[in-house]
Chains A and B, each alone.
Chain A
Amino acid sequence: MEDPSLHDTFVELHGARLHGFALLVTLGDRTLAGILTAEALARGAERVEQLRHPERAAGWLRASLTRAARQPAWGHQRPGEPERRDALLKLGVDPATYDALASLDARSRAVVAATVEGFAAADVYEVVGSDERVRRARRDYLTAYLAASRTRNTRPAAGALTARVQAAAAPVLSASGR
């Protein structure tokens, strides 16, 4: 890339969120996440002219990082589970979610991570390359989360999705007096 300021802008725009995405994909492996992030940013910076649109660049970077994360990391010292949990806890990952993510492969975790980031369906599709993979990964996460929740005997706090469903049901429930 010829313009250093363009490279810096690119890294500044995508670096932090891409690093968080990488931490989720690598299940809290800080070293590997840092390497994958740096590599993806370097590859993206080489194509910065084609990746001027931020959303397109974000999808491309995550797809590139996901592909790289699925390659074997020769000679890489993997961290222990406490380190991983600690790294993801800083992002707000609760224990049951961690357990669910741990049962998935890197590509499925990438789908979950893209969901966390609020990517549109088309962008999530670009990350893993198949609608069916997206559905399967979400279903696998759901199944794993239910199992982890039962094991830990915990119940997740209601969030925006639950509120939407309850709001949709409210007219019927209020009419029936429940």
Chain B
Amino acid sequence: MTDLHAQLEAWIVDGGLGDPPREIAVHASVCELCLTKLGAFDALALIDVAAAGISPPLVPPTRLRVAMARARLATAVAGTVLAGILVVFGVSQLVRLGGRGAGPAGGPEGTELAGLARSSDNGVDQSHQPWAVDSNPAEAPTPSGFETPVAGVTPGPLRSFAPSPTLPPSTPGSATAGPTPTPASSDSLTPSPSLAESPSPTPTPTSPEPTPTPTPGPSPSI
């Protein structure tokens, strides 16, 4: 009997095509459960989908298009925020580096840098330090051996990390002939303008007279 229930159900589920086997039909005709199963699909036959009528002339933007528009907007906002963060970060880094090169007037970092510069007597070549800045050749320490205070506080371009030839400690007259790329002597610890690191290829000779300025920069001492 159970098998007949299952066979009728399988026949219904497969679409009820053709006539059912006679044995199943006889059973289903007298079985309340099977008649209910048949009635379940008979109830579907009473539904008239066309009775719904034509839907109102909805012409909305499709949900897909709305979703895509929202995704595009979110992407644009996220991109803008990310770009803003990167710009702020980059500017802050530049300001930070600039502040280090500004000397004592640049704040605590400048003071710290000045201290580092003054401690260059220990033989550290500051031309290889990333915070070292190029100063105006006219204001830069000259190979004459005189200590020339830095006049400005404006940070210059970053010094190249490449080894730079230094001028030998010679007379001021020799410096006027232009920088001679000779290997730095061991006793020459003064970063001097060179072709590689100076915006001007020919450093102008400076006056041997020191020009006092109220804010001495981080010029290395001899």
Contacts and interface: CB of A to CB of B under 8 A. Distances in A.
B42 A161 contact: yes
B interface, over-half SS: helix
A155 B39 contact: yes
Nearest to B12: A142
B60 interface: yes
Interface in B1-26: 8-9, 12-17, 19-20, 22, 24-26
Contacts of B60: 35, 38
B49 interface: yes
A92 B36 contact: no
A31 to B, nearest CB: 9
B29 A20 contact: no
A92 B47 contact: yes
A17 interface: yes
Interface in A93-152: 93-94, 96-97, 100, 112-113, 115-117, 121, 135, 138-139, 141-142, 145-146, 149
**Contact size class for B?**
35 or more
Nearest to A38: B58
Interface of A: 11-12, 15-17, 19-24, 33-35, 37-39, 42, 68, 71, 73-74, 90-94, 96-97, 100, 112-113, 115-117, 121, 135, 138-139, 141-142, 145-146, 149, 155-162, 164-169, 171-173, 178
Enumerate the 8 nearest inter-chain pairs by beta-carbon distance, A residue then B residue, closest first: A159-B42, A20-B49, A156-B39, A168-B25, A20-B52, A145-B40, A169-B25, A38-B58
